[in-house]
Amino acid sequence: MGDTSQRSLVESNKNGVNMVYDELDFKVPIQSEDYKECSDFVTTSIDEIFRQTVRKGRNKIIINTNLRYGLPMENINKIAGPFIEAWAHEVFIEVLEDGQNMYKLVHVEAQERLNMADVILQFQRNRKFESGITANVDVKATAEDIKSSGKSPNVTSFKRIRTAYVADSDYIFIILSLKHRVYCTKNLNTGMMDGIMEIVAHNAYDLKYISDSDLSCNPALGTGQIQIKDIHYVTLVERTTWEFCQLLDKKFISSKKGFSEWLKLANKNGWIR
């Protein structure tokens, strides 16, 4: 009896929150008509760039050390991220330096460590009101031979990504998942062991299209961290910018943060009028 009453109270509170939320005067972002085409163009281009890089055998990072017995393989995933990010940036730069590149990539800019994205890309594309597409790329490294490595990565803070979509309804945030394996070979010239990071798989996802069940909000970190539950198995669902903002809000409110904390952020960051 007690359990039933408590459940009814919780459901009543949730319905009350939903009613208050729905009655707020939101700043509703309206995306461009060709957003889906632009998103598909970016993700397809990035996938093809890395497919060609791997096909040409240019997918290895060689780490020279003076360690006689090679890299500490049991902890290699802790240092792999920065190497993989730097490699991805160089891949984009090589495409950019080819003035005739088929992807129409016209600008590549690495971002500082605390930015939401690791690399900003700009592609030339004829559109109704613009002549290009800007994509913010977040590089995520996962180890093929370490089962849990990078499986459930933090993507970005809830506050920052929610605000980004209000500031720019066509904001494109791409998750670039790069899977690698690491092994060591003996350098015949030095007698030392060289570490080889080899990128073996890649996937590019538009964050806005990742399914509800694949996303979560970890309330323990700052204003809450948006996470992907398993980056190796992601389902995509087409939705609008406003629908995604509502999904992000639902994730945050359903976490331990609750509606009152969400409302403070909404007022402070200009999500409501």
pLDDT at 265 > cutoff 70: yes
Q: What is the share, in percent, of the chain residues with pLDDT greater than 70?
A: 90
Question: Which residues on adjacent β-strands are paired with residue 178?
Answer: 141, 202
Where are the alpha helices (H) located in the chain, listed in sequence order?
Answer: 2-22, 35-55, 77-97, 158-167, 241-254, 258-269
Whole-Å CA distances, 84 to 144, 169, 178: 13, 30, 8
Q: How far apart are alpha carbons 178 and 204 in whole angstroms?
A: 9
Q: What is the share, in percent, of the chain residues with pLDDT greater than 90?
A: 61
**What is the chain's percent helix, strand, coil content, to nearest 5?**
40, 25, 35
Q: Which residues does 167 contact at the CB level (< 8 Å), separation at least 6?
A: none
Residue type, 102: M
Q: Domains (ranges, CATH) in the chain?
A: 29-269 (3.40.600)
pLDDT of residue 146: 59
pLDDT of residue 31: 96
Over the stretch 126-180, which tens digit does the pLDDT of each residue have? 877 778 999 999 999 888 765 555 567 889 999 999 999 999 999 999 999 999 8
**Three-state SS letters, 93-112:** HHHHHCCCCCCCEEEEEECC
pLDDT at 16 > cutoff 70: no
Over the stretch 193-238, which tens digit does the pLDDT of each residue have? 788 889 999 999 999 999 999 999 999 888 899 999 988 889 999 9
Q: How far apart are alpha carbons 70 and 72 in whole angstroms?
A: 7
pLDDT at 2 > cutoff 50: no
Over the stretch 170-205, which tens digit does the pLDDT of each residue have? 999 999 999 988 888 887 887 777 888 899 999 999
How would you list the strands of the sheet with 225-228, edge to edge? Answer: 154-157, 225-228, 215-218
Q: How far apart are alpha carbons 210 and 215 in whole angstroms?
A: 7
Q: What is the mean pLDDT of residues 245-270?
A: 94
pTM for the model stands at 0.87
